Structure 1
């Protein structure tokens, strides 16, 4: 049993073969798919995905930092409306992204902090998007840290020190295709991180692992990440799958 803790299965890139792609993942041993939100324009697609695969997909709700624009308060209201009327497994993906656009950095920080507070009120984990923003992310987490704060640092690509700091806030590290890249860097220190802090993800259709790098990613390719971690930790494929799935259950409360 393998758990993909972060996959955008409602992406337009899967419109032509969504069912077949899901079946390939199941055939590869993936039994749970956690689905992050982006903004209100994707909500209908997420809800339809859940209807199509009610036993397999587990939805999150949140406002992605790159969708924080002039209308971010309306988008936050959309998130709040949904988490008040429906059960979700996490608030995500939320966070700060300074790579694409820094003009809404203040609003991103506000949206991140607000959604963390909602997560704690709902006793839900958070799933963090962080790109070129570790300092800003940690600044917010420091103000919100508590025993009821927990979650996943999605697509973790930081240093060992940043990994340890993330873990100190009760965060698991979401490890995906980057671990298989020759220049991914995290593979050089992951062995120093206890496996209890690791969960698996694909972020499909993005960040396909080697040897599929540059192509459309899909959840079936998570087996390449398991293979890489098995090499890094000196454990079997089955052990990596079992440990990381249990970690995901601990985070998502399943």
Structure 2
């Protein structure tokens, strides 16, 4: 399995990170993709990438929740890192209109700038779009580069949104919400081909049932795979095989071939 989105550098793992990672490897996870948040998360992320080469793979980007008035300074830090280290994607980037809309304009500018970084460096993008799916879609369409590809991380949308994301050439990141009783994905996933999906946990957030409300971890991706299988009337093994292939195609598109 490939875990396409986990904040394993989070301080929530400071007491048991080695054990948490060992559980992930034992669960059959071959790679953990690490999205960045802002300048403060880079060092911890890069230490893990160095300690587990080929297994813990870093992205670089400015998360929309961390976009403030100084966002241009943060973007410069991201760009500097791109010139001196290897990353698999620009992420996580996007818009978040759930917590605060104060910096909406800055979020839009930061997203478009980072889309430009992705294209200049032949990378894909990992999108956070909480309460902002159509706003992000408009920005992608305004950016108007058909080669821009990536993942709508933590996808919980409607079939109409599924259709649009696929039309744009993006994969859908499915995580613990798929196991929630009122998560809504039970009405959507049966109508989506596995070729459009990748698996994630968004650890330490959004733990799947039966761990909902507790700290999430990468090993729980097994529960997500099983739930996707149940909803699509497919075996867990087939879900793992297809979503892993989808994830590897993204890496190949970024010319990393890992």
Calculate the TM-score normalised by the size of structure 1: 0.97
Can you give the 5+ residue segments of structure 2 that lack an aligned partner in the other structure? none
CA RMSD between the two structures: 0.9
Contact 1:95-1:137 within 8 A present in 2 as well: yes
SS state of the match for residue 128, structure 2? strand
What is the CA-CA distance between 1:135 and the residue it aligns to?
Answer: 2.1
> How many Å separate the matches in 2 of 1:220 and 1:92?
22
1:89 equivalent in structure 2 = 88
What is the CA-CA distance between 1:159 and the residue it aligns to?
Answer: 0.7
Give the total of aligned pairs.
253
> How many Å separate the matches in 2 of 1:193 and 1:47?
35
> How many Å separate the matches in 1 of 2:188 and 2:66?
32
What is the CA-CA distance between 1:144 and the residue it aligns to?
Answer: 1.9
Contact 1:123-1:148 within 8 A present in 2 as well: no
1:4 equivalent in structure 2 = 3
SS state of the match for residue 30, structure 2? strand
> How many Å separate the matches in 1 of 2:30 and 2:22?
10
Matches within 5 A, 1:28-177: 28-177=27-176
What is the CA-CA distance between 1:52 and the residue it aligns to?
Answer: 2.0
2:208 equivalent in structure 1 = 209
What is the CA-CA distance between 1:174 and the residue it aligns to?
Answer: 0.1
> How many Å separate the matches in 1 of 2:164 and 2:61?
23
The one-character-per-residue Cα deviations of 1:136-168 (angstroms, maximum 9, x if unpaired) are: 111101112433111000000111101111111
Deviates more, 1:172-181 or 1:41-50: 41-50
> How many Å separate the matches in 1 of 2:116 and 2:169?
15
